[in-house]
Amino acid sequence: MASVQVSDPARCQAVPVAVIPAASSKASAILGGMPSALDRIRQEQAVAPATAALTATQPVNCALPAPAFAQPAPPIATIFALTAPIPGEFLASRRLAVAHTAFDTQWERVSHAALGASAIRRLGFATGGDLESRLRAVNGWTNAHVRYVEDAAQFGRADYWADAGETLRRGAGDCEDIAIVKLQLLAASGVPRDAMFLTIARDLLRHADHALLIVRDGERFWMLDNATDTLVDAGASADYRPVFSFGEHGKWLHGYETRKAVTPVPAPMPITDAPLQIALSPALIDAPAIAAPQIDGAMLGFARFGLGGQRSQKLAFNAR
């Protein structure tokens, strides 16, 4: 089990939170998989109104196996997910570099299986010019030419990441296969590999686990999703809660910020009086010690994860 440390423990006061059993099945994937009716109600209460509705072009119930994680006890006040962009980050989250994830072997295999320039010429994609135009072309073409098929139906196993060449030959794949094709097509067209991120996320509207391709374009990020042919600004959450991402130079666990609703009082209450909670999303990691950022008047929460059916817990600290 990975431990979490803060840079100055003397400044922190532990706040106990509930401990719940870990999920154990594929259906209970990254953020609890297929939740119970009560869990769905809690999730709906914990999410702000959608920033934009996306029209699905393919099925997106893309279940991905992932390790158990800790959830906080249901709060008394409704918690609203932060949807505003964070400079230098995407999907309204913050990335925390980690050493290992459960998908490292698969990522290493597919990320190094590049497509040649001949594939780009054969498919008719441009190798230069406007980046947004290339992103739209690759996103729309891949969504149209790669059918969504679950790994169990295609490979007879719960989870398998196919490389881009294999997916193109079959003309079928699940959400991470489709995202990998887009990554390799864009890389072959000249997009820097260190500007692209394969992101595993939770679809908060459909209650499903999903995979996306995020591409950095200067100071902004774009999301390429098999759920829509539209190129989506990935600065805000877009109804997704990212869990972890893979890139050319590392792997990251995503943290997200939530803000508790404050009961109305006669006198106006400054927004800075509302506690801010930063909670890490789930993943099986083997990370080095983590130095907690110092935020005055904020409550910092870090998750600590267990294996399989072990129990997990979430630790929170009040910064003084």
Q: Where are the domains of the chain?
A: 9-319
By C-alpha distance, which of 204, 209, 194, 247 is closest to 54? 204
pLDDT at 298: 36
Indicate if the pLDDT at residue 29 is higher than 50.
no
CB 207 within 8 A of CB 184: no
Alpha helices in the chain (DSSP H): 37-45, 104-111, 117-123, 131-145, 151-155, 164-170, 175-188
CATH number of 9-319: 3.10.620.30
pLDDT tens digits, one per residue of 56-85: 455 545 655 443 333 333 333 333 344 578
**CA distances (Å), origin 226, targets 94, 159, 180:** 23, 18, 11
pLDDT band at 261 (very low <50, low <70, confident <90, very high): low
- Say what the pLDDT of residue 66 is: 42
Q: What mean pLDDT comes out for the span 94-115?
A: 95
pLDDT surpassing 90 at residue 86: no
CA angle 60/104/29 to nearest 5° reads 40
Q: For residue 79, which phi and psi values (nearest 5 degrees)?
A: -105, 130
pLDDT grade, residue 50 (50/70/90)? very low
Q: For the segment 129-180, what is each residue's pLDDT rounded down to a tens digit?
A: 789 999 999 999 999 999 999 999 999 999 999 999 999 999 999 999 999 9
3-state secondary structure of 170: helix
Query: Has residue 267 got a pLDDT over 70?
Result: no
Query: Looking at residue 128, what is its pLDDT?
Result: 72
Residue with the bigger pLDDT between 148 and 32: it is 148
| Structural tokens at position 165 | 């060449």
pLDDT digits (tens, 9 = 90+) for 229-255: 999 999 988 789 999 999 999 999 999
* Beta-strand relationship, 228-233 and 311-319: unpaired
Query: For residue 275, what pLDDT is reported?
Result: 52
% of the chain at pLDDT higher than 70: 54
The answer to whether 51 and 238 are in contact (CB under 8 A) is yes
* Average pLDDT score over the chain: 70
Q: What is the reported pLDDT for 284? A: 44
CB neighbour class for 124 (10 Å; exposed up to 12, middle 13-18, buried from 19): exposed
More confident residue, 122 or 229: 229
Question: What percentage of the chain has pLDDT greater than the value 90?
Answer: 44
